[in-house]
Amino acid sequence: MKNLLEGLINKQDSIAVIGLGYVGLPLAVSFSKKANVIGFDISRKKVEDYKNGIDSTREVGTEKLKNSSINFTYSDKDLKNARFHIIAVPTPIASDKTPDLRPVTGASTIVGKNLQRGSIVVYESTVYPGVTEDICVPILEKESGLKCGIDFKVGYSPERINPGDKEHTVENITKIVSGMDEESLNIIADVYSMVIKAGVYKAESIKVAEAAKVIENTQRDINIAFMNELSIIFNRMGIDTEAVLKAAQTKWNFLKFGPGLVGGHCIGVDPYYLTYKAEELGYHPQVILSGRRINDGMGKYVAENTIKQMIKADKQIKGAKALVMGITFKENVPDVRNTRVIDIINELKEYGVDVFVHDPEADKEEVKHEYGIDMIDLEKNKCFDVIIFGVAHDVFTSIDLESMKGFFCNEKFVLIDVKAVFNRQEALEKGYFYWRL
């Protein structure tokens, strides 16, 4: 195993990245500048798109993808040619909010069947402490017939990709690394140091690294939940939350968080991994689950306040037409997985409102596949009772409040601005029934 790093640098051995989504693809492209890289995904369509230079994630870009030397494949047998495996598959939750480990156990099965002696397997997927060693290692051993610690070794290096962020890219974020022993830790640190300009941090154990990752997003979730709760309180007081936060942020140590919908494959999911393990050990988390309840209920809260604004404007609710602008889980990304905008849509439908969705950043086929929604072309649909901006895409900031009036059926303009895309005072002056978190 001592020759593994040298073999990667000399391109005699290969790095395999298993799972080519928002995390795996940028990582594979970065490593391909320094080493031989096998990019594996079970999706044939995704692999074919990447081979043709089509970046559906928009995290890398067509130019870099076309110029990369990655061997894209959906044949797991190609993994036999690698000795350093990085597993970067999603870790979602089930309908009952418990961890769904099928992607990571499935990836472990695939890698195990093709694992060679002298290899290292590193997990990047967000999990609760213990998953790598207690769940994944036995699968690797069973499928490979090899013994962990003797024939191969494992490590954990949590992903820190922020989709849509072109500043904090994979090379520019400090990388936590961990290994099952000192040898594996040092090799893993050296391999990642080939591409991570910001440097690596050696965690003292795999469980520590797993825990560090899961609390990063849990901390953000709790802070956003606090902002959401404040917005509910201030709304009842008739105070604008955005104005309150601007005033409070003049203090140097006031944390800059804001209210909003918490979705996606990280912040809205990871806390449930931690609470699942805590409850398994006999402790019922108070703060974390309280924050989750608040954030999970924000879509319903937005919908309820939408109905209230429509009633103020003397709109008939049943049969009213609502235009939802933006359905991705965050601004300026095409990813619609676990978007909480769908909660607003579903709740409005419960009131009998006809909901239409437009999002220039999202893929129409993916939205149809995930949610059964046919997105509309705004040029062909211009008669709505209420417009809801659910996501703060940059493209939306250029929309003029005056010209937007042309999308309403009458002169009762109801505007729900979830992420404060527009100036509140200007909207009120132009005659809008305006509401935001």
Q: What is the CATH number of domain 297-435?
A: 3.40.50.720
CA pair distance 320, 318, nearest whole angstrom: 6
Q: Which residues pair with 99 in a beta bridge?
A: 93
Q: What SS3 class is residue 146? A: coil
Q: What SS3 class is residue 431? A: coil
**Which member of 148, 266, 383, 409 is catalytic?**
266
Q: What share of the chain is helix, strand, coil (3-state, %, to 5)?
A: 45, 15, 40
Contact 86, 16 (CB under 8 A): yes
Per-residue pLDDT at 165 = 64
Q: pLDDT tens for residues 227-273?
A: 999 999 999 999 999 999 999 999 999 999 999 999 887 888 999 99
Domain boundaries, the chain: 4-204, 214-294, 297-435
CA pair distance 373, 207, nearest whole angstrom: 41
How many beta carbons lie within 10 A of that of residue 172, not counting itself? 12
Q: What is the mean pLDDT of residues 110-123?
A: 97
CA pair distance 68, 62, nearest whole angstrom: 10
Question: Using N-to-C axis directions, what is the helix angle for 206-237 and 298-312, rounded to 10°?
Answer: 20
Q: Which residues of 309-329 are buried (b: 16+ CB within 10 A; e: fewer)?
A: bbeebebeeeebbbbbbbbbb
Does residue 266 have an active-site annotation?
Answer: yes
CA pair distance 195, 156, nearest whole angstrom: 17
Q: pLDDT tens for residues 39-89?
A: 999 999 999 999 988 888 877 778 888 888 999 999 999 999 999 999 999
Same fold, 4-204 and 297-435: yes
Q: Which of 130, 219, 226, 435 is nearest to 312 (CA)?
A: 435
Q: Fold for 4-204, please state it.
A: Rossmann fold (3.40.50)
Mean pLDDT of the chain: 94
Q: pLDDT tens for residues 150-197?
A: 999 999 999 987 766 677 778 889 999 999 999 999 999 999 999 999
Query: DSSP assignment of 66-100, as one string?
Result: HH---EEES-GGGGGG-SEEEE-----B-TTS-B-
Threshold 0.85, pTM exceeds: yes
Q: What is the CATH number of domain 214-294?
A: 1.10.1040.10
Q: pLDDT tens for residues 343-400?
A: 999 999 999 999 999 999 999 999 999 999 999 988 777 799 999 999 999 999 889 9
